[in-house]
Structure 1
């Protein structure tokens, strides 16, 4: 098998593991277990905590002591074991700790998979910029395939979603040991400070108003991302409680409908170079923020009948909302930070959005929904989504007013080509 095919298989399985349960776990939590919304918010906060704690630690281990592909495999096998155990859990507190253990293993594998792919491609004289994106796209395809499998096998509310994820994780863990070797690079100096070893020297960027502002808004947008991951499928499934919608495709195939979001994501990636070149980084990030307003607002007014188009359009808009901020934000970091701390700065960007953003977004949204928008066990989805839309609108307006950045076409020339 070719190197590119082997890395494509790795990318596919990497996100298949996640897609098998991430979007549908809310159905298992609320419909099958009937646990509280506030506790559910804590479950999604484990993604953020794991993103804060683990990537730096595993990065040091891979740089200094263990082959990256072996560490990658070990983490997936351990994570798979944790996922296998989840169906045996009968209380929300234990569920939290088991899913936290699974996420401590899974979240660092996202960056490790990139490291393995880059290493293998460079060692085989491939053009990474040209070859890696088509490989990474298959990760999104894997995520979609897992969502479809979970829904089409009628497991969007059953414990079997965790077994599907576990089998894929362990299979990927075993498979990774067959990948080309990625030995430790020992790039970290023995005389480096602890802050340098942990990549914490990038935190000095908070001393700059513009960068501090950017990272704070990254956290706020990271929280918005988790809202639809947490509640999107639950929202669509709960239309089934209304007799007029109980047999609709939105209810029966909710996960398939939600997968339009991931399909859209793959398509909007192709549009990013055009938008960046024409409008610049700040405007593209603003477009992303207003897309989040539209995403939530369309959900607020959509339904499985005459409002079906709103739900579908909301899923399409997701691709713009998600991709435009992540890619343009990454480019902003690339073009405005010192090359000596650029990798650490990129890590800080991801820590603020996928780490702190996901952590606080999960906890606070669970509390707010449970306290203010749940009455006699029924969730007021219309006002839930409107409140989320208002949140995104406030962020967009404040970002537009406070964040100053001049569009320099040369900064985006490389990505545009």
Structure 2
């Protein structure tokens, strides 16, 4: 890949994830502290992204892959999204804000797959070249967190204005990207291809079925972290909470680098279990941490993000890639994304909002966070135990699953 193309793609990834990181991390703080929305409403707001994640595969299958060049679709989606995000920043009533945010996320979510598609289309060996480009997306997310934290705007609509401006910039930048024509132009694509029906055959495998269910379930307690951590840290009085949270993405990069070592030593099944255990440990750290003597627990919980994300989600994506085979690889990845970022996150957004609302207090800290964090900790622990027991039973039955072997 030429240096110019690498720079174009890396810059694209930086802007793509800067936009997301600029508004989503601190949204719970802004909606709760500034607009006075209830915790249930905050959970519903985060659920808008999950709804969009369930819709985006249909969009990709029916429009982007068949009719228009990817960079032109990106151009339109980011420009239209910039308008919705700007209007959302001006909204003060929940119904108005929710509908505008839903419209925005429906524009944004398909762009994740489109940026990946544009990148891989320019690569001879995506397995080796893509990580070096995609890591700029994580750096963009970190930069957004540091920007918001240093400007001290976590409680302000300014985060949405910044994201809107960068989204507009990204839209025009997309016109400078390498041309990526629709891969299925002129090809008749039915509803089975759009929903990834061919991947259903993978459920014949016991290990894939267990992985699929565990992935969807673990995203329910996972929503507590994504939706309410910034509000939690701000209520405790942590300065520059958004900037400090970005250390989670720093650890994500570091653990990504050492993943090949752990693949050799542990194998896929144990790596998935370590990733799930990290979620339990993170929530326990948050439950017992405080801004004084226990501040180290808060930072440990944040930094555990690298293990939580890489060892479960990245490992899971690699497992699905190997398990599915070439013919249904894309359909299988779409199916997992639908279950996790769609169904799992949507259920989690609703439950997390209900739980946080239930444990409101009259004290200096408006919520009983020690109790709140134990809810996802116990849920993650139960899922981990069930996951371990099912695979132990499978081992006893001596079923052959080479892709899950240590």
What secondary structure, in the 3-state scheme, does the structure 2 residue paired with 1:386 have? helix
Q: Deviations over 1:63-111 (max 9, x none)?
A: 2100011101111111111111112211112111111111001111111
Residue 225 of structure 1 aligns with which residue? Answer: 222
1:303 Cα deviation from its structure 2 partner: 1.1
The residue correspondences of 1:362-377 to structure 2 (distance < 5 A) are 362-371=349-358, 373-376=359-362
Corresponding residue pairs, total: 397
Which residue of 60, 66, 79 corresponds with 2:81? 79
Deviations 1:18-68 (A, max 9, x none): 010111011101111111001111111111111111133224322210001
1:375 Cα shift?
Answer: 3.1
Q: Residue 264 of structure 1 aligns with which residue?
A: 251
Match of 2:139 among 138, 141, 145: 141
Q: CA deviation at 1:207?
A: 5.1
Q: Hey, what does 1:9 align to over in structure 2?
A: 11
Distance of 1:234 and 1:302 partners within structure 2: 15
User: How far apart, CA to CA, are the structure 1 residues paired with 2:280 and 2:136?
Assistant: 28
Structure 1 position 277 matched with structure 2 position 277: no
Counterparts of residues 140-219 of structure 1 (less than 5 Å): 140-186=138-184, 189-190=187-188, 192-206=189-203, 208-219=205-216
Shift of 1:407: 12
* Superposition pairs of residues 291-330 of structure 1, within 5 angstroms: 291-330=278-317
Match of residue 245 from structure 1: none
Kept after mapping to 1: 8 A contact 2:207/2:404 = no
Q: Structure 1: which 5+ residue stretches go unaligned?
A: 241-250
CA distance in 2 between counterparts of 1:210 and 1:224 reads 22
TM-score (norm 1): 0.90
125, 128, 132: which is aligned to 1:130?
128
Structure 1 Cα separation of the partners of residues 377 and 143 of structure 2: 29
CA distance in 1, matches of 2:202, 2:90: 45
Cα deviation for residue 202 of structure 1 reads 1.9
2:373 corresponds to 1:385: yes
- 1:411 shift after superposition: 5.3
What are the Cα deviations for residues 339-377 of structure 1, in whole angstroms up to 9, with x where unaligned?
321210111111111111111110111112212x12348
Contact 1:280/1:408 (8 A) holds in 2: no
The separation in 2 between residues aligned to 1:96 and 1:259, in whole angstroms, is 26
Distance 1:216 1:20 in 2: 31
Give the whole-Å Cα distance in 2 for the aligned partners of 1:223 and 1:141: 26
Q: Is the 8 A contact 1:268 1:323 kept in 2?
A: yes
Provide closer, same or farther for how the CA distance between residues 113 and 412 of structure 1 changes in structure 2, counting only shifts above 3 A: farther
Deviations 1:219-262 (A, max 9, x none): 1122233221111111110013xxxxxxxxxx221111111111
Residue equivalent to 2:384:
396
Between the aligned partners of 2:229 and 2:192, the Cα distance in structure 1 is 39
Contact 2:57 2:194 in 1 (8 A): no
Verify the 8 A CA contact 1:225 1:322 in the aligned structure 2.
no
Q: Which runs of 5 or more residues in structure 2 are unaligned? A: none
The 3-state SS of whatever aligns with 1:252 is coil
Cα RMSD of the aligned pairs, angstroms, is: 2.2
Relative to structure 1, the CA distance from residue 128 to residue 211 in structure 2 (aligned partners, 3 Å threshold; closer, same or farther) is: closer
CA–CA separation in structure 2 for the residues paired with 1:236 and 1:188: 52
Give the C-alpha shift of residue 188 in structure 1: 7.7
Structure 1 contact 277–409 (Cα < 8 Å) conserved: no
